[in-house]
A and B are shown apart, each in its own frame.
Chain A
């Protein structure tokens, strides 16, 4: 039994465990970081704290989102660090049960660059469960 925060990325529906999400913000003024990996979209000022914004589309090797991406910030805590994940759009928070989770099929695993390990079955939809710690680990 848990809650998932859902969001959209390049037409697919993803989710993150609500417990890891600190807050969700509208697009923020962004300072680019020259020479950084393209996956770093920039830095934002989160009430005095400087937080790296990670472009999830880049992490998944998707095309840069045009007008469909609203550059929403999903701020997550991973261990001691805080990062903001840039997603196209924010969806609902859904309640799910343990048995709705399943390992992601190998065919999809490669496609999502190991960042998605589980899939969550909803009655009429599937949610790709993003593991933020893998996203951050992939950046270092």
Chain B
């Protein structure tokens, strides 16, 4: 947000508030004149004018400030009982309100005070404040010649009637402001951009958050009632009843969407002050830290935004204090003296992830182990049994802190446990992971708790479960013959060949320990290909029933420890159905191991049987060089006609499933010339989340399974690792990293077709 926008925003807010205040003033003044209870009302009127004057002065609206000031002076006298309200005073005050409204309208329309001679009014107000009975001065609002205004402004509008005797003399009072300073002032800053908008009162309406909450709950109930109605309607055949049901169905959906939108805010709204927090902390600690943020536009429900505000600050303070080292220490380690804290928000699996990662010293699990034993958080025996990720998560225990020194900033043993409690209270989860480059990363997984999500209802052992659509990659049904050829069994674990890619199969009933139900084998097999933490797995269910909009309701604290559920919902028939948490399910079934959390080597754990070190790779060739790509990173292989390739921002793109997908030439990645070709091009597509990339290769040679492939990591930041494939050292391309990198660098695509 640039400064101009910020100023505009302040002005807009000032206008909105002032117009509201003016309406109230009118009302109150009239009530006062009619003999209302004076003291409280006068105090309230005084406050309104006083704060309006303050803001006007701050924003440089001098005339507004002066009029308000004169009114305030008179009001102060009234409030303190030095004067009593009579008709002339009431008239003058009402005219003052009119004048203020007039000036505000000018500001609203043109961004500046444009005209009007308010001097007589100001003088009249001040004279009244002095106890003089004055004749009605006309509240002149006719625009005067600009040169006349020029004369008036530098004079500071000191009232001539009381010149030499300031209106407030003899009335020492803190809030009674001095007469306007006579020193020359800068003219009010002329806005660079005229503020042209609909009248402020119509542009926005303030709504009580409590009311929004009630509306949201009501819409939630309405959705449930609608679902019940739809269930009921399936059995009906009265056309007018069906039409009415359909109408209600659509209106409910739109209403739901609208209400949800009113509550959404970009997470950036609480990030604004964080760079300042980090800066202050850094200077307090004698460190050099910069804050990188991304994903500020990620929208969350406002209650959730509020709830994560403090935890986020805590984590940031922790990262600055415990994570980032002192500059000399960093230099000694060969790192830049300035540490970086990255704040990242993004959607994943129907939740919002907020990550705070630093490039500091990382987590010392040994120290955590010792400290936890010292503090009596765990016993020595328990500590022996704990793996590293469990140990790392101990920092979330109450009363835990490993800072060698208690600093002002953190290290008093409060903080991380508060973070965890607060995040869990809104149904989220906090995890600590080793960050990239040896630092620490704290990830908050925040659900869209109040959200209404689209979910697939499945049936297992005659029990219904809801699976959020966002986790669903595809739905597969295998007939008995396909089952025989595409599902393999390896030591009791089942694997499914999905377009050459082996994905582990998980039987939902077995994971949940449900009694198995006899099924007719000819019914085939339903597989939901799900995605969790960048890994795919197939979930086998008995039946796939329906797709429904469900209202996510939280489970009680007594069920919080069960990671496999994200909540519960009430179905059309009034029964409760559990919502599966796909990631939790994957953990429960051991298809995603904590060690597999992308590229995190430090928290290694024993690998499970389903994920033997066997990798399928795609071998491609371009410019006479062969490159291998792990098949798990390949979404599809496409043949694209050259005519479909377009150029955007100097880069090659294609429209792919309604999205714009950048193309990268493998040859140019390898630093070779791109050979001209004319026919259709071979594209290896990677598309996950919002990132996608199409890698243009000359030829796809083969897909091979490499047992126990040994991989040598490439240089940091490099897209290539090396691996032995078919007995030869081959470049292994990290296609996902290429997509994540936003595909900028390789775009110097040499030549074209």
Contact = CB atoms under 8 A, between A and B. Distances in A.
B560 A33 contact: no
B391 interface: no
Interface string A112-140: 00000000000000000000000010011
A105 interface: no
Given A29-B575, A43-B568, A43-B576, A35 B558 contact: no
B575 A140 contact: no
Contacts of B577: 31
A41 to B, nearest CB: 11
A51 B575 contact: no
A102 interface: no
A100 B513 CA distance: 47
A32 B558 contact: no
Contact of A140 (B513, B558, B564): B558
B669 interface: no
A50 B463 CA distance: 17
Contacts of A36: 559, 562
A67 interface: no
Contact of A35 (B220, B221, B564, B574): B564
Contacts of A140: 557-558, 560-561
A45 B463 CA distance: 16
A52 interface: yes
Q: Point out which of A31, A51, A81 has the most chain B C-beta atoms below 10 A from its C-beta.
A: A31
B559 A48 contact: no
Q: Point out which of A34, A40, A45 has the most chain B C-beta atoms below 10 A from its C-beta.
A: A34
Nearest to B225: A48
A50 B558 contact: no
A31 B514 CA distance: 13
Interface string A42-56: 111100111110100
Nearest to A48: B221
Interface residues of B, number: 28
Nearest to B551: A48
A4 interface: no
Contacts of B560: 140
B224 interface: yes
B578 interface: yes
Contacts of B553: 49-50
Interface in B426-479: 463
A52 B513 CA distance: 20
B565 A81 contact: no
A31 B224 CA distance: 17
A44 B576 contact: yes
A136 B558 contact: yes
B558 A45 contact: no
Interface in B558-610: 558-562, 564-565, 568-570, 574-578, 588
Interface in A92-109: none
Contact of A48 (B512, B514, B558, B570): B570
A5 interface: no
Contacts of A43: 555, 568, 576, 578
B658 interface: no
A83 interface: yes
A51 B559 CA distance: 11
Interface string B310-325: 0000000000000000
B556 interface: yes
Contact of B557 (A33, A35, A48, A81): A81
Q: Point out which of A33, A81, A83 has the most chain B C-beta atoms below 10 A from its C-beta.
A: A33
By secondary structure, the A interface counts as: strand
A20 to B, nearest CB: 16
A50 B575 CA distance: 10
Contacts of B588: 35
Given A49-B553, A83-B556, A35 B224 contact: no
B575 A45 contact: yes
B539 to A, nearest CB: 14
Interface in B374-422: none
A81 B555 CA distance: 10
B555 A31 contact: no
Contacts of B512: 34-35
A54 B578 CA distance: 17
B559 A52 contact: yes
B556 A52 contact: yes
Contacts of A45: 570, 574-576
Given A36-B559, A40-B559, A83-B558, A50 B576 contact: yes
Contact of A33 (B224, B565, B569, B570): B565
A39 to B, nearest CB: 8
Nearest to B570: A45
A32 B221 contact: no
Contacts of B463: 31-32, 34
A38 B83 CA distance: 77
Given A35-B512, A49-B553, A40 B574 contact: no
Q: Point out which of B556, B560, B565 has the most chain A C-beta atoms below 10 A from its C-beta.
A: B556
Contacts of A51: 556
Given A35-B562, A35-B564, A81 B556 contact: yes
A29 B576 CA distance: 9
B578 A52 contact: no
B687 to A, nearest CB: 34
Contact of A50 (B221, B513, B557, B570): B570
B561 to A, nearest CB: 8
A31 B575 contact: yes
B217 to A, nearest CB: 9
Q: Point out which of B463, B564, B574, B576 has the most chain A C-beta atoms below 10 A from its C-beta.
A: B576
Contacts of A50: 553-556, 568-570, 576
A17 to B, nearest CB: 20
A31 B576 contact: yes
Contacts of A136: 557-558
Contacts of A29: 574-576
B578 to A, nearest CB: 7
Contacts of A34: 463, 512-514, 578
A111 B568 CA distance: 34
A48 B575 CA distance: 10
Contacts of B559: 33, 36, 40, 52
B568 A48 contact: no
Closest 10 CB pairs of A and B: A139-B558, A34-B512, A31-B576, A43-B576, A52-B556, A50-B553, A50-B568, A45-B570, A81-B556, A45-B576
17 contacts: A31-B568, A31-B578, A40-B559, A43-B576, A45-B576, A48-B220, A48-B221, A48-B224, A50-B556, A50-B569, A51-B556, A52-B556, A54-B558, A81-B556, A81-B557, A83-B558, A140-B558
Given A32-B463, A51-B556, 20 more contacts: A31-B575, A31-B576, A31-B578, A33-B559, A33-B562, A34-B463, A34-B512, A34-B513, A35-B588, A42-B576, A43-B576, A45-B570, A45-B574, A48-B220, A48-B570, A50-B568, A50-B576, A81-B558, A139-B557, A140-B561
